[in-house]
A and B are shown apart, each in its own frame.
Chain A
Amino acid sequence: MKFLLSTHMDPAAWEALPEAERAAMREDKGEFADEVAESGEMILAHELADPSRSAVVRVRDGLAVVADGPYRPAAEFLSGYYLVDCDDRDRAIELAARIPEARVAGVEVRPVMHAAGQDL
């Protein structure tokens, strides 16, 4: 089963941490990525740039309106994601708990839709 593990970040909470703790988290993050790649569960992973670099596009009456900034401004925001293929939801949750962002803001575990259909 494929899951999207999306990491959420709170820059204020991050900055408030002692540097040693931040350094440890960076290291844990690299370790986590290596391990999930090695176990054959990782499909794709990306970090996202700061939401101040985002633009939101809205098409109304056939016209595109572009606004700089995130879709929904908030103290916590989407900061990256891992697309994993693992056995079940429990395993996905186990993986999410090892991502350092889970200690700062949170990691959302969400199943990816698949095309296959069971018999009815």
Chain B
Amino acid sequence: MNVEPAVEDLLRELAPQVLGVLTRRYGQFEECEDAVQEAVLAAATQWPAEGVPANPRGWLIAVGSRRLIDQVRKDHSRRQREDTATAQALPLHTGAPEDAVPDADDTLILLFLCCHPTLTPASQTALTLRAVGGLTTAEIAHAFLVPEATMAARISRAKKNIKAAGSTFALPAADEREARLAVVLQVLYLIFNEGYTASSGETLHRADLAQEAIRLTRLVRRLLPADTEVAGLLALMLLTDSRRAARTGPSGELIPLAEQDRTRWDARLLAEGTALIGDLMKHASLGPYLLQAAIAATHASAEKAEDTDWHQVHTLYKILERIAPNPMVTLNRAVALAETRGPAAGLELLSTLDEDDRISGHHRLHAVRAHLREKAGDIEGALESYRLAARITTSLAERRHLEARAARLS
């Protein structure tokens, strides 16, 4: 949008509230979402020039409503070619008056709607960023490195699918709530990773996604303060993001955790993430995000890589493996095991993954094996695994890293 940060922040905050009000009033999520997007775009050009109106929320609601009514009239007259019916084209909803409903509820409803389980992850992330995050289609397209037309089609298809699924603008039933929230958190974590893992050349466009994911997760935490997985996800994002400046070198090459300059970790993010974890680990039931955050916090508490409490890391992975079994978790546990009991023990655990189709062809299995073979002094074997991993990864950054490792050994 390229407008003043203060205006942009305000627009992002107000966008879901305004969408909530319009959807309650007119009941057409698909059309209302387009209208809000237009109102936000109009504000982004007018407010910096003419000043922010005294009641920005009211301004957006008024402009959004006008756009919506214009659009409905246009569609209607195109269909009917008669003016008489236009008056009935947009019936007011006879539900509760929108101002009686707190904005917080609306924002939560919107999140559940955008992360509807019938949508694909790509659609969920795109729609969440636009409808809840207040980003423009162009910004989202830019962040995901696809043409704007592709992103526009994806968003409009997502909204059609939500409509087809017969969703209403209401919170999911209590018995569905937990499963639906899990999808919301998954979508937020996807958005975060999309931004966080961007290589240095792309960060200009994509780093914002990590910030946006953190902002939205903070929002969910305000709405659901008692949920420990929401807090765990927020802590995980903060602790991970604290390492951002240290994770790549001057020419964008990846720097492994063990070799990062820990003085470059963001102390403010670390402190906030660690404090969140500290409170939760005392009495919370342990969910997957909380556990991953606890692992990140364990790494964060070591001033030097060699001070890492690998026993604790291993124990946490072991619990994670039990509550959310996944070969990637086992792979990570093998690294921790190798640190506590030696590379042979780690390699032995890795060999149990060779038969697992979900990971046997994945470059990370071979990259970890290469690393452990190198530690064990098996240079030939390490070289072979580094080269294999470098060949099959689909990430240019990881290929460069793995090739550099292999070159150092040969």
Contacts and interface: CB of A to CB of B under 8 A. Distances in A.
Interface in B143-168: 144, 146-147, 149-158
Most buried by B among A112, A118, A120: A120
B394 interface: yes
Contact of A38 (B157, B198, B256, B397): B157
Q: Mostly helix, strand, loop or mixed at chain B's interface? A: helix
Contact of B254 (A1, A38, A117): A117
Contacts of B375: none
A41 B122 CA distance: 9
B73 interface: no
Nearest to B254: A117
A117 B120 contact: no
Contact of A85 (B146, B201, B240, B397): B146
A41 B156 CA distance: 12
Interface string A105-119: 000000111111111
B398 A117 contact: yes
B147 A43 contact: yes
B369 interface: no
Contacts of B247: 119
A120 B257 contact: yes
Interface residues of A, number: 22
Contact of B394 (A40, A43, A113, A119): A113
A85 B122 contact: yes
A117 B395 contact: yes
Interface in A58-90: 85-87
Contact of B122 (A43, A87, A113, A115): A87
Interface string B170-198: 00000000000000000000000010011
Contacts of A114: 394-396
B23 interface: no
Nearest to B151: A40
A52 interface: no
A102 interface: no
A120 B121 contact: no
Contacts of A111: 394
State the main secondary structure of chain A at its contact with B. loop
Contacts of B199: 115-117
A38 B199 CA distance: 30
B153 A116 contact: no
B215 interface: no
A37 interface: yes
B51 to A, nearest CB: 37
A114 B150 CA distance: 18
Contacts of B123: 40
A43 B395 contact: no
A42 interface: yes
B256 to A, nearest CB: 4
Contacts of B76: none
Contact of A112 (B121, B144, B257, B394): B394
B201 A39 contact: no
Nearest to B194: A116
Interface of B: 120-123, 126, 144, 146-147, 149-158, 194, 197-199, 201-202, 206, 240, 243, 247, 254, 256-257, 364, 367, 394-399, 401
Closest 7 CB pairs of A and B: A40-B154, A117-B397, A40-B153, A120-B256, A116-B197, A115-B199, A111-B394
Given A41-B122, A115-B198, A120-B398, 9 more contacts: A39-B154, A40-B154, A40-B156, A43-B150, A86-B122, A116-B198, A116-B199, A117-B396, A118-B398
